[in-house]
Amino acid sequence: MIDLRSDTVTKPDKALLKEVLEANLGDDEYGEDPTVNALQEKCSKLFGFEDGLFISSGLMGNQISLLIHNSPGTEVITSSDSHIKNYEHGAAAFLSRVQFREVDHIDGLLNFDSIEQIINKSKIHKPTIRTISIENTHLASGGSIIKYEDIKHLYTLTQSKGLSLHVDGARVLHSILQSKSPYDYGSISDSLTFCFSKALGAPIGSMLLGSKQFIKQAREYRKILGGGMRQVGVIASIANKALDQREAILQDHEKTRLVYESISDKYFCKEILYKGTNMIIFKFSNTKNSNEFIENLKSKNVLAGLIDDKSVRIVFHKDVHINDTKNIIDAINYSSSGE
Protein backbone atom coordinates (compact mmCIF):
# COMPACT_ATOMS: atom_id res chain seq x y z
CA MET A 1 0.00 0.00 0.00
CA ILE A 2 1.38 3.42 -1.02
CA ASP A 3 0.50 5.82 1.79
CA LEU A 4 -0.05 9.38 0.56
CA ARG A 5 -2.26 10.60 3.38
CA SER A 6 0.49 12.86 4.73
CA ASP A 7 4.26 13.27 4.87
CA THR A 8 4.01 12.47 8.59
CA VAL A 9 3.64 8.75 7.84
CA THR A 10 7.34 8.33 7.06
CA LYS A 11 9.43 5.96 9.14
CA PRO A 12 13.08 6.51 10.12
CA ASP A 13 15.50 4.32 8.20
CA LYS A 14 18.47 2.47 9.69
CA ALA A 15 20.83 5.38 9.08
CA LEU A 16 18.62 7.64 11.18
CA LEU A 17 18.10 5.05 13.92
CA LYS A 18 21.85 4.54 14.16
CA GLU A 19 22.12 8.13 15.39
CA VAL A 20 20.24 7.17 18.56
CA LEU A 21 22.88 4.64 19.58
CA GLU A 22 25.67 7.19 19.23
CA ALA A 23 23.92 10.22 20.75
CA ASN A 24 25.37 11.99 23.78
CA LEU A 25 22.57 12.41 26.30
CA GLY A 26 21.71 14.55 29.30
CA ASP A 27 18.68 16.00 31.07
CA ASP A 28 17.11 18.59 28.78
CA GLU A 29 14.96 19.95 31.63
CA TYR A 30 18.24 21.17 33.12
CA GLY A 31 19.45 22.26 29.70
CA GLU A 32 22.10 19.55 29.87
CA ASP A 33 21.40 17.38 26.83
CA PRO A 34 24.33 18.14 24.50
CA THR A 35 22.59 16.69 21.45
CA VAL A 36 19.54 18.89 21.94
CA ASN A 37 21.64 21.96 22.66
CA ALA A 38 23.68 21.41 19.51
CA LEU A 39 20.54 21.01 17.41
CA GLN A 40 18.98 24.18 18.84
CA GLU A 41 22.13 26.16 18.12
CA LYS A 42 22.41 24.68 14.63
CA CYS A 43 18.83 25.58 13.73
CA SER A 44 18.96 29.08 15.17
CA LYS A 45 22.10 29.82 13.16
CA LEU A 46 20.67 28.24 10.00
CA PHE A 47 17.52 30.38 10.11
CA GLY A 48 19.13 33.53 11.49
CA PHE A 49 17.52 33.61 14.95
CA GLU A 50 19.16 34.20 18.32
CA ASP A 51 17.95 30.99 19.93
CA GLY A 52 15.85 27.87 19.51
CA LEU A 53 13.84 25.35 21.52
CA PHE A 54 13.26 21.70 20.65
CA ILE A 55 9.57 20.89 21.13
CA SER A 56 7.32 17.91 20.54
CA SER A 57 5.15 19.31 17.73
CA GLY A 58 4.44 22.22 15.44
CA LEU A 59 1.12 22.75 17.20
CA MET A 60 3.00 23.30 20.45
CA GLY A 61 5.30 25.78 18.73
CA ASN A 62 2.40 27.73 17.26
CA GLN A 63 0.52 27.87 20.54
CA ILE A 64 3.55 28.86 22.61
CA SER A 65 4.13 31.68 20.13
CA LEU A 66 0.56 32.92 20.56
CA LEU A 67 0.94 32.79 24.34
CA ILE A 68 4.05 34.97 24.17
CA HIS A 69 2.97 37.43 21.49
CA ASN A 70 -0.56 38.01 22.83
CA SER A 71 -2.61 38.56 25.96
CA PRO A 72 -6.15 37.26 26.58
CA GLY A 73 -8.79 39.02 24.52
CA THR A 74 -6.47 40.21 21.77
CA GLU A 75 -6.64 39.17 18.12
CA VAL A 76 -4.44 37.36 15.63
CA ILE A 77 -4.70 38.17 11.93
CA THR A 78 -4.49 35.08 9.73
CA SER A 79 -6.14 33.50 6.70
CA SER A 80 -9.53 31.83 7.07
CA ASP A 81 -8.06 28.44 6.13
CA SER A 82 -4.84 28.53 8.17
CA HIS A 83 -3.67 25.57 10.20
CA ILE A 84 -3.28 27.61 13.39
CA LYS A 85 -6.94 28.61 13.20
CA ASN A 86 -8.62 25.46 11.90
CA TYR A 87 -6.55 22.37 12.67
CA GLU A 88 -5.27 22.78 16.22
CA HIS A 89 -8.40 21.69 18.12
CA GLY A 90 -9.28 25.18 19.37
CA ALA A 91 -6.01 25.38 21.30
CA ALA A 92 -5.75 29.16 20.91
CA ALA A 93 -9.14 29.71 22.56
CA PHE A 94 -8.27 27.26 25.34
CA LEU A 95 -4.70 28.38 26.05
CA SER A 96 -4.01 31.98 25.12
CA ARG A 97 -7.69 33.00 24.94
CA VAL A 98 -7.27 34.95 21.73
CA GLN A 99 -9.49 35.12 18.70
CA PHE A 100 -8.67 35.19 15.02
CA ARG A 101 -9.40 37.93 12.52
CA GLU A 102 -9.55 36.56 8.99
CA VAL A 103 -8.08 38.49 6.09
CA ASP A 104 -8.19 37.94 2.32
CA HIS A 105 -5.28 36.07 0.81
CA ILE A 106 -3.99 34.55 -2.41
CA ASP A 107 -2.18 31.25 -1.92
CA GLY A 108 -1.43 32.12 1.70
CA LEU A 109 -0.12 35.64 1.06
CA LEU A 110 -2.27 38.01 3.10
CA ASN A 111 -3.68 41.11 1.43
CA PHE A 112 -1.71 44.07 2.77
CA ASP A 113 -4.48 46.62 2.14
CA SER A 114 -6.96 44.45 4.05
CA ILE A 115 -4.52 44.20 6.95
CA GLU A 116 -4.20 47.99 7.07
CA GLN A 117 -7.98 48.39 7.09
CA ILE A 118 -8.46 45.79 9.82
CA ILE A 119 -5.79 47.37 12.02
CA ASN A 120 -7.36 50.83 11.61
CA LYS A 121 -10.83 49.51 12.45
CA SER A 122 -9.52 47.79 15.59
CA LYS A 123 -8.69 51.15 17.15
CA ILE A 124 -12.33 51.74 18.09
CA HIS A 125 -14.64 49.22 19.81
CA LYS A 126 -12.79 46.18 18.48
CA PRO A 127 -10.22 43.86 20.11
CA THR A 128 -6.59 44.91 19.97
CA ILE A 129 -4.57 43.14 17.29
CA ARG A 130 -1.20 41.88 18.49
CA THR A 131 -0.01 39.28 15.99
CA ILE A 132 -0.08 38.33 12.33
CA SER A 133 0.40 34.64 11.57
CA ILE A 134 1.21 33.20 8.15
CA GLU A 135 1.79 29.65 6.95
CA ASN A 136 4.62 28.71 4.59
CA THR A 137 4.07 26.53 2.69
CA HIS A 138 0.31 27.13 2.74
CA LEU A 139 -1.48 23.82 3.12
CA ALA A 140 -5.04 24.72 2.11
CA SER A 141 -3.98 26.19 -1.24
CA GLY A 142 -2.06 23.05 -2.19
CA GLY A 143 1.32 23.61 -0.56
CA SER A 144 1.86 27.03 -2.13
CA ILE A 145 5.02 29.02 -1.47
CA ILE A 146 4.98 32.51 0.04
CA LYS A 147 7.94 34.36 -1.39
CA TYR A 148 10.69 35.52 0.96
CA GLU A 149 10.44 39.11 -0.28
CA ASP A 150 6.70 39.15 0.41
CA ILE A 151 7.27 37.99 3.99
CA LYS A 152 9.95 40.67 4.35
CA HIS A 153 7.45 43.28 3.18
CA LEU A 154 4.85 41.96 5.62
CA TYR A 155 7.37 42.10 8.47
CA THR A 156 8.08 45.76 7.70
CA LEU A 157 4.34 46.39 7.97
CA THR A 158 4.02 44.55 11.30
CA GLN A 159 6.96 46.45 12.77
CA SER A 160 5.45 49.79 11.73
CA LYS A 161 2.23 48.82 13.51
CA GLY A 162 3.88 47.43 16.65
CA LEU A 163 2.74 43.87 15.89
CA SER A 164 4.51 40.50 15.96
CA LEU A 165 4.85 38.24 12.93
CA HIS A 166 4.76 34.50 13.51
CA VAL A 167 5.54 32.02 10.73
CA ASP A 168 3.97 28.58 10.93
CA GLY A 169 6.73 27.00 8.89
CA ALA A 170 5.79 23.35 9.33
CA ARG A 171 6.94 22.82 5.73
CA VAL A 172 9.07 25.94 5.33
CA LEU A 173 11.98 23.87 4.00
CA HIS A 174 9.85 22.99 0.97
CA SER A 175 9.51 26.70 0.28
CA ILE A 176 13.18 27.51 0.82
CA LEU A 177 14.57 24.65 -1.24
CA GLN A 178 12.11 24.89 -4.13
CA SER A 179 12.36 28.67 -4.53
CA LYS A 180 16.07 28.81 -3.62
CA SER A 181 15.26 31.57 -1.13
CA PRO A 182 17.31 32.59 1.94
CA TYR A 183 17.05 30.69 5.21
CA ASP A 184 17.33 33.96 7.12
CA TYR A 185 13.85 34.17 8.61
CA GLY A 186 15.22 35.73 11.78
CA SER A 187 15.45 39.08 9.99
CA ILE A 188 11.89 38.94 8.60
CA SER A 189 9.82 37.46 11.46
CA ASP A 190 9.59 37.35 15.25
CA SER A 191 9.11 33.61 15.58
CA LEU A 192 9.16 30.51 13.40
CA THR A 193 8.31 26.89 13.98
CA PHE A 194 9.17 24.03 11.62
CA CYS A 195 8.74 20.27 11.77
CA PHE A 196 11.23 17.43 11.57
CA SER A 197 8.44 14.86 11.21
CA LYS A 198 7.04 16.25 7.95
CA ALA A 199 8.99 14.96 4.94
CA LEU A 200 12.35 14.91 6.73
CA GLY A 201 11.60 11.45 8.09
CA ALA A 202 12.17 12.00 11.81
CA PRO A 203 9.53 10.29 13.98
CA ILE A 204 8.81 13.28 16.21
CA GLY A 205 9.86 16.82 17.00
CA SER A 206 9.75 20.44 15.89
CA MET A 207 11.90 23.51 16.42
CA LEU A 208 10.70 26.88 17.71
CA LEU A 209 12.94 29.84 16.92
CA GLY A 210 13.04 33.43 18.16
CA SER A 211 15.00 35.92 20.23
CA LYS A 212 16.78 34.86 23.42
CA GLN A 213 14.06 36.46 25.52
CA PHE A 214 11.35 34.80 23.44
CA ILE A 215 12.92 31.34 23.84
CA LYS A 216 13.39 31.93 27.59
CA GLN A 217 9.65 32.48 27.87
CA ALA A 218 8.96 29.61 25.48
CA ARG A 219 10.89 27.21 27.71
CA GLU A 220 8.64 28.16 30.62
CA TYR A 221 5.47 27.66 28.58
CA ARG A 222 6.78 24.34 27.26
CA LYS A 223 7.10 23.19 30.86
CA ILE A 224 3.60 24.43 31.75
CA LEU A 225 2.13 22.58 28.77
CA GLY A 226 3.78 19.32 29.79
CA GLY A 227 6.35 19.47 27.03
CA GLY A 228 9.47 19.31 29.19
CA MET A 229 11.59 16.29 28.28
CA ARG A 230 14.58 14.53 29.76
CA GLN A 231 17.10 12.54 27.67
CA VAL A 232 15.40 13.75 24.53
CA GLY A 233 18.67 13.66 22.61
CA VAL A 234 17.56 10.22 21.42
CA ILE A 235 14.96 12.03 19.30
CA ALA A 236 16.98 15.15 18.57
CA SER A 237 19.79 13.02 17.16
CA ILE A 238 17.44 11.69 14.47
CA ALA A 239 16.07 15.17 13.81
CA ASN A 240 19.61 16.47 13.32
CA LYS A 241 20.51 13.78 10.79
CA ALA A 242 17.20 14.25 8.97
CA LEU A 243 17.85 17.99 8.71
CA ASP A 244 21.23 17.31 7.10
CA GLN A 245 19.42 15.28 4.42
CA ARG A 246 16.88 18.01 3.66
CA GLU A 247 17.88 18.38 0.00
CA ALA A 248 16.05 15.09 -0.60
CA ILE A 249 12.82 17.09 -0.30
CA LEU A 250 13.39 18.20 -3.89
CA GLN A 251 13.01 14.58 -4.99
CA ASP A 252 9.54 14.61 -3.43
CA HIS A 253 8.71 17.69 -5.48
CA GLU A 254 9.86 15.90 -8.63
CA LYS A 255 7.68 12.87 -7.86
CA THR A 256 4.70 15.15 -7.30
CA ARG A 257 5.31 16.98 -10.57
CA LEU A 258 5.55 13.73 -12.52
CA VAL A 259 2.23 12.55 -11.15
CA TYR A 260 0.42 15.87 -11.65
CA GLU A 261 1.56 16.19 -15.26
CA SER A 262 0.46 12.60 -15.97
CA ILE A 263 -3.13 12.91 -14.75
CA SER A 264 -4.99 12.19 -17.98
CA ASP A 265 -8.18 14.12 -17.17
CA LYS A 266 -7.84 17.19 -14.98
CA TYR A 267 -11.56 17.98 -15.24
CA PHE A 268 -12.94 14.95 -13.43
CA CYS A 269 -13.30 17.04 -10.28
CA LYS A 270 -14.11 20.65 -9.51
CA GLU A 271 -10.49 21.78 -9.18
CA ILE A 272 -6.98 20.39 -8.75
CA LEU A 273 -4.52 22.38 -6.65
CA TYR A 274 -0.82 21.86 -7.34
CA LYS A 275 1.73 24.57 -6.45
CA GLY A 276 5.05 22.92 -7.24
CA THR A 277 5.86 21.36 -3.88
CA ASN A 278 4.92 17.96 -2.46
CA MET A 279 1.14 17.80 -2.51
CA ILE A 280 -1.86 17.71 -4.82
CA ILE A 281 -5.38 18.53 -3.64
CA PHE A 282 -8.47 17.35 -5.53
CA LYS A 283 -11.59 19.43 -4.86
CA PHE A 284 -14.99 17.86 -5.54
CA SER A 285 -18.46 19.39 -5.62
CA ASN A 286 -19.87 16.91 -3.10
CA THR A 287 -18.78 14.47 -0.40
CA LYS A 288 -20.03 11.43 -2.30
CA ASN A 289 -17.55 11.94 -5.11
CA SER A 290 -14.64 12.75 -2.81
CA ASN A 291 -15.26 9.58 -0.77
CA GLU A 292 -15.64 7.49 -3.91
CA PHE A 293 -12.34 8.84 -5.21
CA ILE A 294 -10.59 7.81 -1.99
CA GLU A 295 -12.12 4.33 -2.11
CA ASN A 296 -11.17 3.88 -5.77
CA LEU A 297 -7.58 4.85 -5.00
CA LYS A 298 -7.55 2.43 -2.08
CA SER A 299 -8.72 -0.39 -4.34
CA LYS A 300 -5.54 0.27 -6.35
CA ASN A 301 -3.37 0.22 -3.19
CA VAL A 302 -3.03 3.99 -2.84
CA LEU A 303 -4.09 5.73 0.38
CA ALA A 304 -5.27 9.35 0.25
CA GLY A 305 -6.79 11.58 2.92
CA LEU A 306 -9.45 14.25 3.33
CA ILE A 307 -8.57 17.78 4.48
CA ASP A 308 -12.26 18.66 4.41
CA ASP A 309 -15.31 16.69 3.30
CA LYS A 310 -14.89 17.69 -0.36
CA SER A 311 -11.10 17.92 -0.67
CA VAL A 312 -8.83 14.92 -1.13
CA ARG A 313 -5.10 15.34 -0.54
CA ILE A 314 -2.14 13.25 -1.65
CA VAL A 315 1.27 14.10 -0.19
CA PHE A 316 4.62 12.83 -1.43
CA HIS A 317 7.50 11.99 0.91
CA LYS A 318 10.74 10.05 1.20
CA ASP A 319 9.03 6.68 1.59
CA VAL A 320 7.38 7.01 -1.82
CA HIS A 321 9.83 5.54 -4.32
CA ILE A 322 10.19 7.11 -7.76
CA ASN A 323 9.05 3.77 -9.21
CA ASP A 324 5.80 4.12 -7.23
CA THR A 325 4.76 7.10 -9.34
CA LYS A 326 3.53 4.90 -12.21
CA ASN A 327 1.21 2.99 -9.87
CA ILE A 328 -0.04 6.28 -8.41
CA ILE A 329 -0.70 7.73 -11.86
CA ASP A 330 -2.55 4.58 -12.93
CA ALA A 331 -4.62 4.64 -9.73
CA ILE A 332 -5.62 8.29 -10.19
CA ASN A 333 -6.49 7.83 -13.84
CA TYR A 334 -8.53 4.72 -12.96
CA SER A 335 -10.33 6.62 -10.22
CA SER A 336 -11.08 9.65 -12.38
CA SER A 337 -14.69 8.84 -13.16
CA GLY A 338 -16.52 12.10 -13.96
CA GLU A 339 -18.70 13.95 -11.48
Q: What is the CA angle 178-253-191, rounded to 5?
A: 45
235 and 315 assigned to the same domain: no
pLDDT, residue 337, reads 57
Indicate the number of domains in the chain.
2
Question: What does the pLDDT look like over 167-178, one tens digit per residue?
Answer: 999 999 999 999
DSSP string covering 189-257, please?
-SEEEEESSSSS--SS-EEEEE-HHHHHHHHHHHHHTT---SSTHHHHHHHHHHHHTGGGHHHHHHHHH
86 and 181 assigned to the same domain: yes
Q: Does the residue 2 lie in any domain?
A: no
pLDDT, residue 23, reads 87
Does 161 have pLDDT greater than 50? Answer: yes
Name the band, by pLDDT with cuts 50, 70 and 90, for residue 339. very low
Does 120 have pLDDT greater than 90? Answer: no
Q: What share of the chain is helix, strand, coil (3-state, %, to 5)?
A: 45, 20, 35
252 and 217 assigned to the same domain: no
280 and 309 assigned to the same domain: yes
Q: Which domain holds residue 279?
A: 248-335
pTM: 0.94
Question: What does the pLDDT look like over 52-96, one tens digit per residue?
Answer: 999 999 999 999 999 999 999 999 999 999 999 999 999 999 999
Domain end among 210, 244, 278: 244
Domain end among 194, 210, 244: 244
Question: What does the pLDDT look like over 127-150, one tens digit per residue?
Answer: 899 999 999 999 999 999 999 999
pLDDT, residue 59, reads 95
Q: Which residue has the higher pLDDT, 312 or 126?
A: 312
Does 338 have pLDDT greater than 60? Answer: no
